[in-house]
Amino acid sequence: MIIFFAMTIWEITIPETTDRAVRDFLDRNGEGAQNLSEFVNAAVRRRVFELTVSKIKERNANFDQNEIQALIDEEVRTVSETRS
């Protein structure tokens, strides 16, 4: 089965030095300019994930980490039991 995702065209402005660095990197690794969209997509997704994790850590900083882990373990155990 092939799954197609809707694609959106972005118009972005970046420094010329960044453009050159990314294109040179892709060229050196045999990927070329056609993979620029894939490279940007992966970088953006990674950054969104990092920022999301950072915000969650900030939000949970005042809570007992052992208590949080115990709650996670309990939920994982519950889900595992319902699926077996």
Q: Summarize pLDDT for 49-76 with one digit per residue, the tens.
A: 999 999 999 998 999 989 989 999 999 9
Chain centroid, CA 76 distance in Å = 23
Residue 22 lies in a domain: no
Distance CA 49, CA 43 (A): 10
Each as own residue / partner, the long-range contacts of residues 6-15 (CB below 8 Å, 24 or more positions apart, any chain) are none
Question: How many domains does the chain fold into?
Answer: 1
Domain, as residue range, for 44: 34-83
Residue 59 lies in a domain: yes
Position 12 scores a pLDDT of 93
Q: Is the pTM of this model over 0.85?
A: no
Residue 66 lies in a domain: yes
To which residue do tokens 């373990």 refer?
Answer: 73
Residue 24 lies in a domain: no
